[in-house]
Amino acid sequence: MDRQARVDLDAVTANVTALRDRVPDTKIMAVVKQDAYGHGAVRCARAALAGGASWLGVAHVDEALELRRAGLDAPLLVLLAVPGEEHEAAIRDGVDVTAGSVAQVGIVAAAARRAGRPARLQLKADTGLSRGGATPATWPAVLDAALSARAEGLITITGLWSHFACADMPGHPSVQAQLTAFHDALAIADKKGIAPEIRHMANSAAALTVPESWFDVVRFGGALYGLGTLPGGAPSFLRPVMTLTARLAMVKRVPPGTGVSYGLHYVTKRETTLGLVPLGYADGIRRAARGHLLAGFRGRRFPIAGTVCMDQFVVDFGDEPVAAGDEVTLFGPGDHGEPTAQEWGEALGTISYEVATGIGPEVPRIFSQNDIGASRPAPLIPSTTDVPTDTEMRALGERLAGLLRAGDLVILSGPLGAGKTTLTQGIGAGLGVPGRVVSPTFVIARVHRGGRIPLVHVDAYRLGSLAEVDDLDLDVELADSVTVVEWGAGLVEQLAEARLVVQIDRLPDSEERAVTLVAEGGDWADRLAGFEP
């Protein structure tokens, strides 16, 4: 494919699970509006729910209906209130809608009458952002309108909510002022006898920095996708989800003094190699990127030479050997030295959200449940087996251990609770490791000796980068050990040229797990050929 945005759905799941730890006793609403910030709403919604989100949030009714059509029946809130949207269909589909004015309550109540069932309505207080929602002056009237509609059986008041103006500016005085205003709004509602299912206020930045903002639910948007608006971007425990790549359409060697692209604003200083990237401003590569070192190739950055055109731009590769068809990475998680969306945002004077949502729909999204990384080697020879119980998962680990040799890397993927540690316990038993293999969640890595080969068990969940694995300073050579990494997909592939990837998926509505063994490079395909899972 000449250009693609790879979306690592495992990273969405892992990001949500990591965020869940940060906001204990609080539910997570996964904000998947605007096609999940350009990442693909339906798939990201599923991945976020798998990670522990219990609500979904979108901007428009049509986005909500699309999620429902895709079979997502989780609680779902439409954050914007726009007259003329398909409220009736939303009400029929059990979607929560928002109102922040008496008129909006009226629109919803009328739609509920037509739908023949009560609307699930959330009331929005404007506590200082001056966007949607009722101001303190109009809040009591909005509550009264909602109470009248409730008395007529037209609505259930399911939520009360608000939104911060400056949550990404830690310490900004408006944050506390808005919290106070929201508490006031809640108190007025309480006095009027309104007891909603949920009260919520925090977006990603607030949830990560202001625990008083958590209430019952926090609304994570950018954080799901590893993006952030706080200074410096998302915290390192979150993994960027999208990788944007393109194959060079052509390359050419040009002499010094060659003007490049519209306006000839860029002029080569010496003989150099130019590469043509088939992405342009119609795909979301902003014209303002001209001159920035934002093209990643083989771990280095090269400048965007001259004007970005509608569907192409030129990169100056200097003397780097490069050929037509080579893949350039514009942004990604940063594992391979490529720029991140955060860096694009900083270079272009915007935020990473605008960078990711700006990538046009015509750029194909390629979804990987088991991160394909920037340079994952083929061939993949999957073999799947269903494992119904923990005992059988352990037994599978024991049998797998029979295949393992010193220097092997095994990457375990799958949602929380899928059985990754149980499988590792089996591997430990199969290697003859004495004692119990317990999850290394809090210590990140444990070395188990005393078996046929030392077992290094890593939980990469909290690791931001591969470098942090080196920093662990394990007193064992990985070449002499078997290394099993939970949550390692997309992060630790570089530790070994060949590896076995074990993907564990929970089967819907059952205790059974599907285990897929994927051979990646080396002689793994041969080794798996004779293996009975």
Ligand X SMILES: Cc1ncc(COP(=O)(O)O)c(C=O)c1O
Q: Which residues are catalytic?
A: 33, 262
Distances (CA, A) of 363 to 31, 32, 252, 351: 22, 19, 25, 20
Minimum separation from the CB atom of position 352 to ligand X (A): 10
> Which residue's CB is nearer to ligand X, number 229 or number 261?
229
By the rule CB under 6 A, 484 interacts with ligand X? no
By the rule CB under 6 A, 347 interacts with ligand X? no
By the rule CB under 6 A, 28 interacts with ligand X? no
d(CA 288, CA 278): 17
Please provide the distance, in angstroms rounded to a whole number, between the alpha carbons at the two ends of the chain.
34
The correct pick among 36, 79, 485, 501 for binding ligand X (CB under 6 A) is 79
Q: What share of the chain is helix, strand, coil (3-state, %, to 5)?
A: 30, 25, 45
Asked if 29 and 56 touch (Cβ cutoff 8 Å), the reply is: yes
> Which residue's CB is nearer to ligand X, number 100 or number 464?
100
Residue 205, classed as helix, strand or coil, is helix
The correct pick among 9, 28, 31, 49 for binding ligand X (CB under 6 A) is 31
The correct pick among 43, 219, 290, 513 for binding ligand X (CB under 6 A) is 219
137: CB partners within 8 A, 6+ apart: none
> Which residue's CB is nearer to ligand X, number 221 or number 464?
221
By the rule CB under 6 A, 18 interacts with ligand X? no
d(CA 68, CA 409): 40
> Which residue's CB is nearer to ligand X, number 209 or number 465?
209
Q: Single out the residue of 339, 354, 124 nearest to residue 222, CA to CA.
A: 354
Kindly identify the residues of this chain, within the stretch 147-176, that bind ligand X according to CB under 6 A. 163
Distances (CA, A) of 234 to 46, 51, 84, 308, 455: 22, 18, 36, 28, 33
d(CA 320, CA 526): 36
Segment near ligand X (CB under 6 A); pick from 38-46, 201-209, 313-321, 330-338: 201-209
Segment near ligand X (CB under 6 A); pick from 4-12, 202-210, 254-262, 302-310: 202-210
The correct pick among 203, 273, 413, 422 for binding ligand X (CB under 6 A) is 203
Question: Quick one: three-class SS letters along 377-405?
Answer: CCCECCEEEEECCHHHHHHHHHHHHCCCC
Count other C-beta atoms under 10 Å from residue 424's C-beta.
31
Segment near ligand X (CB under 6 A); pick from 10-18, 213-221, 360-368, 418-426: 213-221
Minimum separation from the CB atom of position 32 to ligand X (A): 10
By the rule CB under 6 A, 26 interacts with ligand X? no
Q: Name the closest residue to ligand X (Cβ).
A: 221
The correct pick among 47, 205, 330, 489 for binding ligand X (CB under 6 A) is 205
> Which residue's CB is nearer to ligand X, number 31 or number 445?
31
Binding residue count for ligand X, defined by CB under 6 A: 12
> Which residue's CB is nearer to ligand X, number 228 or number 426?
228
Query: Which DSSP letter does residue 108 get?
Result: H
> Which residue's CB is nearer to ligand X, number 132 or number 339?
132
Reading the block at residue 298, the tokens are 């083989």
Kindly identify the residues of this chain, within the stretch 220-249, that bind ligand X according to CB under 6 A. 220-223, 229
Segment near ligand X (CB under 6 A); pick from 134-142, 151-159, 200-208, 492-500: 200-208
By DSSP bridging, strand 272-277 and strand 313-316 are: antiparallel
DSSP state letters, 230-254: STTSS-TTS---EEEEEE-SEEEEE
Binding stretches for ligand X (CB under 6 A): 31, 79, 163, 203-205, 219-223, 229
